[in-house]
């Protein structure tokens, strides 16, 4: 069984029509829109391997109660959702499981069950806290988890292959071989193909294919294969991020991806995120692929004693993190398993707090202004019911965040009770050209980790004090931000971000020589310009169409007229207009545009 739990402000759903003929018709009173507020929505796929109905129901109830307890939810919505699995149980079995689960949960919670076997429209708003989205997989009596090892042989402790692939022998001296047919395995590796039938034309996955930016493959679910063009965009965003953070006196750090599980138990992530952490073992020790960057940065802080003169200490990390997700909820760059998070952590005194928060807001504002993205709203999330720290500390922290927002004249909403358990936070929700809102940037105050890790600094009076810790991200997930940017611009990125900034097309073969001279001259003026050429013996119309499909901002056609006048006919940013430039004039324009990141 696969689950996806969403802690929501509200959910509305309405059955539209039957998806399965054998399912009984709903009575008219059940065909209306239903709504539940402040609920835990549990999306459920019952699978063929869920053979023991009694055990699977009890385990499902146990998991729902566990998650509901963590997020303090009193309302439960059971929502049958076939898209989490490709190994679904029979409709009869699924209905039986859902009905029994509803009965058992109904003794403790207010439960609403969405109808099974119907197409439904639904709308929901997920809360923004760390536990608002959790995926789980339930296996009973060793049933296959969906991540099984089909075609592999389990090798015993007394006989195995070593890392080089050499044959090892057991104690009896008998040769032990792992048998496999690599050609058969090769045939099983299907080339990943994008199903565009259900995607809108401006979906970032379609744009990514047209611009040759990235791809996905089932051999690495939820992990991006960056092609050269996509990696250019990613690297340019990272260069911009680094430039900004250097100017604001951040030190860039990098921490390991695999860390001992002890670290996550100290940090508190173990209790909250264990279900979503990838675990492995090495020499009898349990390790975890990091789901977050902050604990690694804290270990760097602890490497040597700190004085008040060292604070504020601003560190920043482009850390690659991994979080387990069910394959059914993965969606292009928007929801992945492996992603790069642009974390920054500030260790400061209480007196420095307001200045640091103000500086972070300036960084966020400057960054998003550069991309033409505006904030729809800003939320100040206050103390939750389940929290750590003294009340006077929460009073001081919430006031610090609110004072800075007021001083900077930022319009904001109070999101009461939705802060993290370790401190209040500010969330920035941006709006794109498609009128969608996205929460990307955040500023979080943290009391928990300095306490749990016993962080200290020596003050002016030579006394030991706890620093305050601020967590912040600007892009959030770099991968997700690229997806947002591609759909916001429909792939028409500014020149500084474009993988190919200029393309030269020859009108005929006789213009090729002069076109190469133009490339050389522009290249000498702007050595870092990403410029290429299309000299194929095909129609200019076809070449232009391909260049437009690749969203190249400047397309230059060289024909007899251009060769004679020594001017350039330039198509600009998909506008359809053709403007005439001298070679020097065009080089000056694009150079300024790239340098100023316009």
Span 403-438, pLDDT tens digits:
999 999 999 999 999 888 788 999 999 988 888 899
Task: Provide mean pLDDT across the span 227-252.
Answer: 98
pLDDT at 575: 85
Task: Write out pLDDT tens, residues 351-389.
Answer: 999 999 999 999 999 999 999 999 999 999 999 887 777
Q: Say which of 341, 342, 348, 418 is annotated catalytic.
A: 341
Give 297's DSSP letter: H
- 514 has pLDDT over 70: yes
Domain 502-595 class? alpha beta
Q: Report whether 261 contacts 282 (CB < 8 A).
A: no
pLDDT at 192: 65
Residue 237 or residue 126, greater confidence: 237
Q: What are phi and psi of 573, to 5 degrees?
A: 50, 45
323, two tokens: 């979080």
Q: Report whether 10 contacts 126 (CB < 8 A).
A: no
Q: Say which of 294, 432, 444, 488 is annotated catalytic.
A: 294
Q: What are the C-alpha distances in Å from 370 to residues 97, 275, 405?
A: 51, 38, 21
pLDDT at 463: 96
* Residue 520 CB burial class (10 angstroms; 0-12, 13-18, ≥19): exposed
Q: What is the CATH number of domain 238-255+293-489?
A: 3.30.930.10
- 149 has pLDDT over 50: no
Can 341 be counted among the known catalytic residues? Answer: yes
Task: Provide mean pLDDT across the span 190-211.
Answer: 85
Q: Report whether 252 contacts 242 (CB < 8 A).
A: yes
Can 440 be counted among the known catalytic residues? Answer: no
CA 310 – CA 303 distance, rounded (Å): 13
- 168 has pLDDT over 70: no
**Residues 6+ away with beta carbon under 8 Å from 439:** 128, 427, 428, 429, 476
pLDDT band at 130 (very low <50, low <70, confident <90, very high): confident
For the chain, what is the mean pLDDT?
A: 89
CA 282 – CA 390 distance, rounded (Å): 40
Q: Which residue has the tokens 């996550």?
A: 264
Q: Say which of 205, 323, 387, 488 is annotated catalytic.
A: 323
Q: Per DSSP, what are the bridge partners of residue 430?
A: 375, 438
Task: Write out pLDDT tens, residues 63-80.
Answer: 999 999 989 999 999 999
Q: Say which of 245, 425, 488, 503 is annotated catalytic.
A: 425
Task: Provide mean pLDDT across the span 47-72.
Answer: 91
| Positions of E strands within 60-152 | 75-80, 110-113, 118-126, 133-137
Q: Which of 56-70, 149-163, 457-471, 556-570 has the lowest mean pLDDT?
A: 149-163
pLDDT at 577: 86
134, 137, 140, 146 alpha-carbon torsion, rounded to 10°: 180
Q: Report whether 42 contacts 61 (CB < 8 A).
A: no
- 557 has pLDDT over 70: yes
Can 589 be counted among the known catalytic residues? Answer: no
Can 345 be counted among the known catalytic residues? Answer: yes
pLDDT at 172: 46
pLDDT band at 150 (very low <50, low <70, confident <90, very high): very low
Task: Provide mean pLDDT across the span 91-120.
Answer: 93
Classify the C-alpha dihedral 332-338-342-346 as positive or negative. positive
**Residues 6+ away with beta carbon under 8 Å from 398:** 380, 382, 383, 424
pLDDT band at 550 (very low <50, low <70, confident <90, very high): very high
**Residues 6+ away with beta carbon under 8 Å from 437:** 376, 377, 429, 430, 431
pLDDT at 160: 39
Percent of the chain at pLDDT above 70? 93
Q: Say which of 127, 322, 471, 571 is annotated catalytic.
A: 471
Q: Find out if CATH 3.40.50.1820 is the number for domain 2-137.
A: no
pLDDT at 518: 96
- 596 has pLDDT over 60: yes
CA 128 – CA 71 distance, rounded (Å): 12
472, two tokens: 């912040």
Q: Which of 135-149, 210-224, 453-467 has the lowest mean pLDDT?
A: 135-149
Task: Provide mean pLDDT across the span 12-41.
Answer: 90
* Residue 319 CB burial class (10 angstroms; 0-12, 13-18, ≥19): buried
- 270 has pLDDT over 90: no
Task: Write out pLDDT tens, residues 250-269.
Answer: 999 999 999 999 999 998 88
Percent of the chain at pLDDT above 90? 69
What is the CA angle 290-152-259, rounded to 5?
Answer: 15
CA 352 – CA 360 distance, rounded (Å): 13
Task: Provide mean pLDDT across the span 160-179.
Answer: 46
| Range of 14-23, 427-436, 474-483 with top mean pLDDT | 474-483
**Residues 6+ away with beta carbon under 8 Å from 330:** 221, 222, 336, 337
- 165 has pLDDT over 50: no
Residue 347 or residue 391, greater confidence: 347
Q: Report whether 389 contacts 356 (CB < 8 A).
A: no
Q: Report whether 295 contacts 263 (CB < 8 A).
A: yes
- 118 has pLDDT over 80: yes
Q: Computed over its alpha carbons, how large is the radius of gyration of the chain?
A: 28
Q: Say which of 50, 342, 343, 446 is annotated catalytic.
A: 343
Q: Say which of 345, 387, 480, 488 is annotated catalytic.
A: 345
Task: Provide mean pLDDT across the span 26-36.
Answer: 90
Q: Which of 241-250, 322-331, 369-378, 569-578 has the lowest mean pLDDT?
A: 322-331
pLDDT band at 154 (very low <50, low <70, confident <90, very high): very low
Q: Count CB atoms within 10 A of the CB of residue 6.
A: 19
pLDDT at 141: 57
Ranges of each domain in the chain? 2-137, 238-255+293-489, 258-289, 502-595
């Amino acid at each position: 069984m696969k689950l996806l739990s969403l802690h929501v402000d509200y959910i509305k759903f309405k059955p539209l029509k039957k998806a399965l003929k054998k399912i009984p018709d709903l009575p008219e009173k059940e065909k209306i829109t239903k709504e539940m507020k402040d609920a835990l929505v549990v999306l459920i796929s019952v699978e063929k391997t869920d053979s023991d109905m009694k055990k699977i129901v009890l385990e499902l109830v146990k998991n729902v109660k566990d998650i509901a307890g963590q997020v303090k939810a009193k309302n439960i919505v059971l929502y049958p959702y076939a898209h989490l699995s490709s190994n679904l149980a029979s409709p009869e079995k699924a209905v039986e499981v859902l009905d029994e689960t509803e009965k058992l949960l109904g003794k403790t919670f207010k439960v609403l069950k969405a109808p099974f076997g119907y197409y439904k429209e639904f709308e929901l708003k997920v809360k923004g806290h760390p536990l608002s989205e959790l995926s789980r997989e339930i296996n009973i009596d060793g049933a296959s988890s969906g991540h099984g090892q089909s075609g592999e042989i389990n090798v015993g402790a007394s006989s195995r292959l070593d890392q080089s692939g050499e044959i090892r022998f057991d104690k009896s001296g008998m040769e032990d071989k792992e048998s496999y047919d690599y050609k058969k395995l090769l045939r099983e590796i299907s080339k990943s193909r994008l199903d565009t039938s259900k995607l809108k034309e401006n979906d970032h996955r379609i744009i990514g294919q047209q611009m040759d930016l990235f791809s996905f493959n089932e051999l690495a679910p939820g992990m991006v294969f960056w092609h050269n063009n996509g990696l250019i965009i990613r690297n340019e965003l990272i260069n911009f991020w680094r430039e900004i953070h250097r100017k604001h006196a951040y030190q860039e750090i990098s921490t390991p991806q695999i860390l001992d599980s002890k670290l996550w138990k100290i940090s508190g992530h173990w209790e909250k995120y264990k279900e979503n952490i990838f675990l492995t073992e090495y020499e009898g020790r349990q390790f975890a692929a990091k789901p977050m960057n902050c604990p690694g940065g804290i270990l760097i802080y602890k490497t040597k004693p700190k004085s008040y003169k060292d604070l504020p200490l601003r560190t920043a990390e482009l850390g690659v993190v991994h979080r387990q997700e069910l394959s059914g909820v993965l969606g292009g760059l928007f929801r992945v398993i492996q992603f790069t998070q642009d974390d920054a952590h500030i260790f400061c005194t209480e007196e420095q707090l307001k200045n640091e928060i103000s500086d972070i807001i300036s960084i966020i504002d400057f960054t998003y202004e550069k991309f033409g993205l505006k904030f729809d709203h800003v939320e100040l999330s206050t103390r939750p019911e389940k929290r750590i720290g003294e009340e006077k500390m929460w009073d001081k922290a919430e006031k610090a965040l609110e004072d800075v927002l007021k001083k900077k004249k930022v319009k904001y909403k109070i999101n009461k009770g939705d802060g993290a358990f370790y401190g209040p936070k500010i969330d920035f929700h941006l709006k794109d050209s498609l009128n969608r809102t996205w929460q990307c940037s955040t500023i979080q105050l943290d009391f928990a980790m300095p306490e749990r890790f016993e962080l200290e600094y020596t003050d002016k009076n030579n006394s030991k004090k706890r620093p305050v810790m601020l967590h912040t991200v600007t892009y959030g997930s770099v991968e997700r931000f690229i997806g947002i940017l591609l759909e916001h611009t429909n792939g028409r990125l500014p020149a500084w971000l474009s993988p190919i900034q200029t393309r030269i097309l020859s009108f005929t073969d006789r213009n090729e020589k002069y076109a190469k001279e133009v490339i050389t001259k522009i290249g000498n003026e702007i050595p870092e310009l990403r410029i290429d050429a299309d000299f194929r013996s095909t129609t200019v119309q076809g070449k232009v169409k391909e260049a437009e499909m690749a969203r190249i901002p400047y397309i230059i056609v060289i024909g007899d007229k251009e060769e004679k006048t020594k001017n350039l006919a330039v198509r600009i940013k998909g506008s359809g207009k053709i403007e005439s430039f001298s070679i020097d004039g065009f080089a000056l324009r694009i150079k300024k545009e790239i340098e100023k990141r316009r």
